[in-house]
């Protein structure tokens, strides 16, 4: 019996352990946060033939160092799931937009008759999906940089990199290292696969991808891409010339960033159908019927001409810039910022400072954010999340927007971004009821 060790016993670690056990591996789990007698333990780590690490295990943790010292191969939960997956995988990565694009891609496939489901970083570990994948014809997998770090054979049918902007610099030595990890998604792909990339990233292409591979490109800034966005219309440029494909006004998706998400999904759809099929009404209707999930530039309430928007998923400054451009006017956004720092450059938010009426800042890195913005943005600092949100609600007047777009991780105050977004909704609901 092969022996496998699992690092971490969170959602991904449990899924890997369950899949391994179902395949008759001898399983041992190691987690620095839990007593060993609470974990499955059938052998010592050094006796393993393979080690599978959860994405949340820090690269420089004592547990990872112990695993490396064994000289036993270490792979990610994503890689382990892939090795045992029997259906095609569509993989999507990027700094922002991964979840929306993953959900949209699965929705498109289902609407055109392919049994697809979502998996990965979206909240359902790939190993969990693989263990119950008998009814899947395709899995659309949201992939984080953490999951790509130890992928040796991972080779999806199609993969897309949506964008790369600074993030997780508390884990990586530089932005270049972070970008290189993202490009690992293409590492094992060949001419038989469909590679999709935002044209703005082609500067990294030759550095990280073999020259014989040619991607589908999309862009909201250039008309040289296969799919491009101009004045509210998505166009496709192919052998029949440039043709309009989707009018964004016919969708429920706001903003240029969502045009990019749609373009990436359409390019990925070319893995299953020729490009002409994209002009089918079935595809257009599928896009029109899709709505983004909660916590992503989600309008949760409107009252007295004030909009309350939950973008708790905005966990880096670039996502905040996108949110401000999407919902902001001139000096009308009561912006709620702050949380757990990931060594981010918050000065990036200055590019849209003219849209911010006041920044309500809380969390572990409130002083760092204030230092980056206070010379051009009215900043107020708070000790708690509830106080910051309430103050934003109190300040908002007719025509304003109360926007939760924290630019930070949530774990200094919440379990995850979803809990943070739900707390925001609750505070807003209570505030509005108190004003009636």
Q: Find the CATH number of the domain harbouring 48.
A: 3.40.50.720
Q: Which tokens is 187 given?
A: 């590492």
Q: Report the residue count for the chain.
A: 436
Task: State residue 134's pLDDT score.
Answer: 63
78 in a structural domain:
no
- Alpha carbon 199 to its chain centroid, in Å, reads 19
Pairing of strands 298-303, 306-310: antiparallel
| Residue where one domain finishes, among candidates 72, 98, 129 | 72
Name the residue with tokens 């409130």: 366
User: Which neighbouring-strand residues pair with 91?
Assistant: 141, 159
Shared-domain flag, residues 121 and 209 = yes
353 in a structural domain:
yes
Among 136, 96, 97, 94, CA closest to 119: 136
Q: Which tokens is 178 given?
A: 């972070």
Shared-domain flag, residues 140 and 179 = yes
Shared-domain flag, residues 335 and 206 = no
Q: Residue 280: give its domain's CATH number.
A: 3.40.1190.10
345 in a structural domain:
yes
For 62-101, b where at least 16 C-beta lie within 10 A, e where not — what string?
A: ebbeebeeeebebbbbbbbbbeebebbbbbbbbbbbbbbb
Shared-domain flag, residues 268 and 314 = no
| Residue where one domain finishes, among candidates 231, 264, 288 | 288
Burial of 372 (0-12, 13-18, 19+ CB in 10 A): buried
Shared-domain flag, residues 345 and 398 = yes
387 in a structural domain:
yes
Structural domain harbouring 357 = 298-434
The residue ranges of DSSP E strands in 25-156, in sequence order, are 26-30, 50-53, 74-76, 89-93, 116-120, 138-142
Q: What is the pLDDT along the chain (436 residues), one digit of tens a residue?
A: 799 999 999 999 999 999 999 999 999 999 988 877 778 889 999 999 999 999 989 888 999 999 999 999 999 999 999 999 999 999 999 998 998 999 999 999 999 999 999 999 988 999 999 998 666 899 999 999 999 999 999 999 999 999 998 888 788 889 899 999 999 999 999 999 999 999 999 888 888 988 889 999 999 999 999 999 999 999 999 989 999 999 999 998 888 999 999 999 999 999 999 989 999 999 999 999 887 778 888 899 999 899 999 999 999 999 999 999 988 888 899 999 999 988 889 999 999 999 999 999 999 999 999 999 999 999 999 999 999 999 999 999 999 999 999 999 998 899 999 999 999 999 999 999 998 7
How far apart, in whole angstroms, are the C-alpha atoms of residue 147 and residue 149? Answer: 6
Shared-domain flag, residues 129 and 182 = yes
79 in a structural domain:
no
How far apart, in whole angstroms, are the C-alpha atoms of residue 131 and residue 19? Answer: 6
Shared-domain flag, residues 386 and 359 = yes
Shared-domain flag, residues 306 and 347 = yes
- Asked whether the beta carbons of 90 and 157 are under 8 A apart, the reply is yes
373 in a structural domain:
yes
The answer to whether the predicted template modeling score (pTM) of the entire model surpasses 0.75 is yes
The residue ranges of DSSP E strands in 270-375, in sequence order, are 298-303, 306-310, 333-337, 356-361
Q: How many domains does the chain have?
A: 3
Torsions phi, psi for 322 (to 5 deg): -60, -45
Shared-domain flag, residues 365 and 415 = yes
Shared-domain flag, residues 47 and 107 = no
The residue ranges of DSSP E strands in 204-337, in sequence order, are 216-219, 227-230, 233-238, 241-247, 298-303, 306-310, 333-337
> Which residue intervals of 23-118 are DSSP H helices?
62-69, 77-83, 98-111
How far apart, in whole angstroms, are the C-alpha atoms of residue 95 and residue 344? Answer: 13
Task: State residue 133's pLDDT score.
Answer: 66
Shared-domain flag, residues 303 and 280 = no
| Residue where one domain finishes, among candidates 72, 106, 123 | 72
- Asked whether the beta carbons of 49 and 95 are under 8 A apart, the reply is no
374 in a structural domain:
yes
Q: Residue 342: give its domain's CATH number.
A: 3.90.190.20
363 in a structural domain:
yes
Task: State residue 250's pLDDT score.
Answer: 92
Q: Which tokens is 263 given?
A: 């373009």
Among 157, 151, 220, CA closest to 183: 151
Shared-domain flag, residues 52 and 136 = no
Q: Which tokens is 395 given?
A: 């300040």
């Amino acid at each position: 019996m092969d022996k496998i060790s699992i690092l971490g016993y969170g959602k991904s670690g449990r899924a890997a352990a369950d899949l391994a056990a179902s395949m008759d591996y001898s399983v041992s789990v190691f987690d620095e946060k839990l007593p060993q007698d609470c974990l499955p333990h059938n052998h010592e780590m050094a006796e393993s033939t393979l080690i599978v690490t959860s994405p949340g295990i820090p690269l420089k943790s004592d547990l990872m160092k112990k695993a490396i010292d064994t000289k036993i191969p270490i792979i990610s939960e994503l890689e382990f799931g892939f090795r045992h997956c029997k259906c095609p995988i569509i993989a999507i990565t990027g700094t922002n937009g991964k979840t929306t694009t993953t959900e949209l891609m699965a929705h498109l496939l289902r609407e055109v008759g392919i049994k697809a489901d979502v998996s990965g970083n979206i909240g359902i570990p790939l190993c969990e999906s693989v263990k119950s994948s008998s009814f899947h014809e395709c899995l659309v997998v949201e992939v984080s940089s953490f999951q790509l770090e130890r992928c040796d054979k991972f080779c999806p049918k199609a993969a897309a990199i949506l964008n790369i902007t600074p993030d997780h610099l508390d884990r990586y030595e530089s932005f270049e290292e972070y970008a290189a990890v993202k490009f690992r998604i293409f590492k094992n792909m060949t001419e038989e696969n469909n590679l999709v990339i935002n044209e703005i990233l082609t500067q990294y292409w030759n550095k990280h991808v073999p020259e014989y591979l040619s991607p589908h490109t999309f862009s909201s800034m250039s008309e040289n891409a296969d799919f491009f966005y101009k004045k509210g219309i998505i166009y496709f440029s192919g052998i029949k010339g440039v043709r309009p494909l989707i009018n964004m006004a016919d969708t429920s998706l706001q903003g240029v960033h969502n045009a990019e998400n749609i373009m990436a999904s359409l390019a990925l759809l070319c893995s299953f159908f020729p490009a002409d099929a994209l002009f089918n009404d079935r595809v257009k209707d599928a896009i029109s019927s899709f709505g983004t999930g909660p916590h992503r530039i989600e309008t949760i309430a409107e009252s007295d001409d004030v909009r309350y928007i939950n973008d708790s998923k905005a966990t880096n400054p670039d996502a905040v810039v996108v949110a401000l451009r999407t919902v902001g006017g001139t000096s009308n956004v009561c912006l709620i910022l702050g949380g757990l720092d990931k060594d981010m450059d918050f000065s990036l938010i200055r590019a849209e400072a003219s849209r911010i009426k006041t920044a309500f800042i809380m969390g572990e890195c409130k002083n760092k954010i204030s230092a980056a913005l206070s010379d051009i943005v009215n900043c107020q600092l708070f000790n708690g999340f509830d106080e910051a949100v309430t103050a934003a609600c109190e300040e908002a007047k007719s025509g304003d927007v109360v926007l939760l777009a924290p630019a930070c991780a949530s774990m200094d105050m919440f379990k995850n971004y979803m809990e943070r977004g739900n707390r925001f909704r609750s505070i807003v609901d209570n505030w509005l009821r108190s004003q009636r």
